[in-house]
Amino acid sequence: MAPDALDLTDDQRFSLMKLRRNIADVRQPHHDDHYLLRWLRARDFDADAAEKMLRDSLQWRQRWDADNILSWEPPEVLKKYYPSGISGFDKDGAPVVVVPFAGLDIWGMLHSVSKSDFIRNTIKYIETFSGIARKQAAVHGQVASQVTVVFDMDNFNLRQYAWRPAGEVVIALIQMYEANYPEILKICYIINAPKVFAIAFSVVKNFLKEYTLSKIQIIKNDPVKWKAAILSTIPADQLPAYYGGTLTDPDGDPKCPSKINQGGKIPKSYYYKNSEKLAENENYTSAVIKKGDKLKLPFVVAQDGSFLKWGFRTENHDIKFGIICTNEEGIESEAIPIRKVNSHLSEEMGVITCSAPATYTIIFDNSYSYLRSKKISYSVGVVPPVETKEEALTEE
């Protein structure tokens, strides 16, 4: 769509033209002006800042293979117990996502799947919802290009999120969403919010942009109020009867579990029995780090902008972890400071962008332990940088 067809000031129109020109080397078919405006609004129409945000997101998409994630098959436990689903479409044609959040057994989940698979599954859901919104926008216009969300916090248990790995993964997901999916949220109803939810939200909102916060309506445990609010946006025949609509499953279930996965307590039969199971499922390498010893894994990085990815889990005990960068002049610096991590409770994973030429040495440090050797399962690798269209043409 041409800039003139959008309701923009002259300065905003100029920023849009500048961004369109600057990202021509990586622009994809669905990167129309409406798409680019999302990144501009997220950066107050600073074209340079929006370009950096978009390019960083494209690198993130490559690291997680987000463009092909719909073909990824998640582990069975995620299919059965990840609470979310689409019930229908709102009055403008935008998809309606319902999340029975209390159905997320985060403790059981992070003891049954790797943290990376949990995040990957969330990306798959967001990509699915975004794809449906794009198709709806082609039919109903831009009013259908975003997602309407209902978060049901009934029976929310704050204690689960006092566990550090659980809190960390939630914050990581929020940061991932804000950095890579600007303005896909149309409105979010948080219903049945208990008093303790205010404590959790006071932490979470520090990681949300003002735009996102402006789209959130928190309605306490007052069914009359929240049903009226939801039905003002969503037709009754597009909403489960449990939430004030008319939809039910064929067996009469008002929560429509055939459309919306309800989650639930994860059976311990899904829990990791030991680190060998992780190694088997994730193609990890296993090693024993003797008491008082270290395991060092050097990786030579030749291309600037390459990514160093890692994931690991220890059996029964913690470990110290860090990454040292040694440049071509032999000068060392801490890429990731060495610190103790509770990798026996949940998988530790991460990724950094590398400078080149340099050697990045991953260190698993058990030198502080004089009594125990530590068994570890790990997966580490270097991924080449994103190749732009311009670079590809130059190589040809």
**Are residues 247 and 361 both part of a single domain?**
no
Question: Structural domain tally of the chain?
Answer: 3
**Are residues 262 and 279 both part of a single domain?**
no
Distance from the Cα of residue 339 to its chain's centroid: 24
Say what the pTM is: 0.73
**Are residues 246 and 119 both part of a single domain?**
yes
| Residue 107, in any domain of the structure | yes
Return per-residue pLDDT of the chain as tens, 396 residues: 443 346 889 999 999 999 999 999 999 888 999 999 999 999 999 999 999 999 999 999 988 999 999 999 999 999 999 999 999 999 999 999 999 998 999 989 988 888 889 999 999 999 999 999 999 999 999 999 999 999 999 988 887 886 767 877 888 899 999 999 999 999 999 999 888 888 888 888 888 988 899 999 999 888 999 999 999 999 999 999 999 999 999 999 999 999 999 999 999 898 875 444 454 455 678 899 999 999 999 888 888 888 888 888 898 899 999 999 998 888 999 999 999 998 888 778 888 888 888 899 999 999 999 889 999 988 888 887 755 444 433 333
**Are residues 252 and 364 both part of a single domain?**
no
Q: Which domain holds residue 92?
A: 84-268
Q: Any idea what the CATH number is for the domain that residue 348 is in?
A: 2.60.120.680
- pLDDT for 302: 81
| Residue 73, in any domain of the structure | no
| Residue 70, in any domain of the structure | no
**Is-contact 282 114, C-beta < 8 A?**
yes
The pLDDT tens digits of the residues spanning 29-58 come to 889 999 999 999 999 999 999 999 999 999
**Are residues 262 and 315 both part of a single domain?**
no
**Are residues 200 and 231 both part of a single domain?**
yes
| Residue 394, in any domain of the structure | no
| Residue 391, in any domain of the structure | no
Q: Report the alpha-carbon distance of residue 22 to residue 35 in Å, rounded.
A: 15
Q: Report the alpha-carbon distance of residue 374 to residue 257 in Å, rounded.
A: 43
